[in-house]
Amino acid sequence: MDIKCNEKELFVFKKIAHAAEELGVPAYVIGGFVRDKLLGRTTKDADIVCVGDGIQLAHKVAERFQPRPSVSFFKTYGTAQIKLKHFYDEVQGEVDHKHITGVENGEQETVPATTIITGGDSDQLNSPPTAGEQGGAALEIEFVGARKESYRYHSRNPDVVPGSLKDDQDRRDFTINAMAISLNTEDYGRLIDPFNGLHDLEKKIIQTPLDPGTTFSDDPLRMMRAIRFAAQLNFTIAPATFQGIKDHAERIRIISQERITEELNKILLSPKPSIGFDLLYQSGLLHIIFPQMVDLAGAEYIDGLGHKDNFYHTLQVVDNICRHTSDLWLRWAALLHDIGKPPTKKFEKGHGWTFHGHEVVGGRMVPKLFARLKLPQNEKLRFVRKLVELHLRPISLTKENITDSAIRRLLFDAGDDIDALMLLCEADITSKNKQKVIRYLENFELVRHRLKEVEEKDRIRNWQPPVTGEIIMDIFGLSPCKIVGDLKNSIREAILDGEIDNSYDAAYDFMMKKAAALGLQPVNKI
């Protein structure tokens, strides 16, 4: 298994190697960059650990680029970062000039035969990067001095002292993240893998380099990271490591909600989020960080009548939606679409289990959940709430004759989010009965056709009644009051029901009749 860096990355690593040699500090590429390159995954950042001053090394490396990139550094943590903006453009001139000939500042660049780093295609230097090529518009490089850590029980913030490369690898969370590659002259490119992470990478296993209890007790966020990597990479967590998560699940309480939610978002953005949420549930972590999701789990039976397990149904809906979109907030809507079912669950004798109004209750739960999880309190919340509240509407339209009025109301209520809503509703079909699925999908196609047809005719999406509240107040000399709202609503309902045309004249005439019935007389004519 080789690490296949492209030539521009090799060019940057050579600069780092020479800067480290000039300072007399051993330097290594470590962690996620090594892991992802071995897996053939794209990555836009690299971590460099040196046995010395990481901030000093970062400044020395920055000096070797023209123009010189800025160095962001944090003395408290001994870390520094260089962001090579528009990375491919910046290094292209130097790369084209030197052609990676092995000469920089008069130094001969030699790569020993033991290296596992290999370059890209020979024509890569002269061709522009494609949209999906590694690195994108920028390469972020973080520098830190090798360190040794010790933890206090009630904090995940360690006491840090300078250490060796071994110390630094010992403190890593998982074996697949503890691999390092030397950037030093005597063994440039050599893989340093004290915990056999390469084997675990090949076998698709996640396990801690040291005792799981120590690893997770020291930094409980690592439990969620293990599950997140399992979801992102479709890896298996080693039994001893997973038992360690179960044994120390309560320790997650010392982690800030922001960090927990960051991991939840990453799990939701993985190719198959159900892997992560199932592991969170099986480990006991979900019971602590998201108990409302746990309430969905299980099927209850009375008189031989049961309901489906809404937890695993939800996970299937999330996986379904992920096949069609990478949008995080649509994925959140899928995750929360049935969150109102537990509080609305009721057994009706002779009928079975019902969840009447769960979409309304679920919609009301969304703001509280977003606040507790420290998710955005803005249009993202409103989007998720809207989809939770509306997710049954298109389904109901497949069970009846679709009237123009029903279509208008759905278009009006959903607005620009109608396409996202339809995706969610289609993802909500999880029946094992293939004929039933086919029938539902055919019905949804009919709804889509009618939506398009009515929208083209009435232009009702994001529509507001042609007679506004301001116009009503001007005509009748009113201040804001209930009568103004009632008149405006009656106009809107009449248009949505197809009782009058969607035009100013029709709305004005309708308003005047309604006003007369209320004893209102116009004082102005508009």
pLDDT tens for 60-74 read: 999 999 889 999 988
* pLDDT number for residue 21: 95
Q: Which residue has the tokens 């780093």?
A: 117
Q: Return the H-helix or E-strand segment holding 93.
A: helix 87-98
Q: List Cβ neighbours of 432 (8 Å cut-off, separation of 6 or more).
A: none
User: pLDDT tens digits for 246-267?
Assistant: 999 999 999 999 999 999 999 9
Higher per-residue confidence, 521 vs 276: 276
pLDDT greater than 60 at residue 393: yes
Q: How far is CA 26 from the centre of its chain?
A: 36
The pLDDT of residue 43 is above 90: no
pLDDT in tens, 141-177: 999 999 876 555 565 565 567 789 998 998 899 999 9
User: Is the model's pLDDT at 196 over the cut of 70?
Assistant: yes
Give, for 211, the enclosing helix (H) or strand (E): none
pLDDT tier, 136 (very low <50, low <70, confident <90, very high otherwise) = very low
Asked whether the predicted pLDDT for residue 110 surpasses 60, the reply is no
Determine the 3-state secondary structure of 112 from DSSP.
coil
Model's pTM, two decimal places? 0.79
pLDDT of residue 94: 46
> What does the H/E/C string look like for 361-416?
HHHHHHHHHHHHCCCCCCHHHHHHHHHHHHCCHHHHHCCCCCCHHHHHHHHHHHHH
Residue 210: how many other CB atoms lie within 10 Å: 15
**pLDDT (mean) for 303-316:** 85
Confidence check: pLDDT of 302 > 80: no
Q: What is the mean pLDDT of the chain?
A: 84
360 Cβ contact partners less than 8 Å away, ≥ 6 residues apart: 340, 389
Domains of the chain: residue spans and CATH: 3-203 (3.30.460.10), 208-289 (1.10.110.30), 469-517 (no CATH)
| Greater model confidence, 102 or 499 | 499
Q: Which residue has the tokens 């130097």?
A: 94
Q: Where are the alpha helices (DSSP H) in 143-298?
A: 165-170, 197-203, 212-218, 221-233, 239-247, 257-268, 273-283, 285-289, 291-294
**Residue 463 and residue 503: Cα distance in Å, rounded?**
12
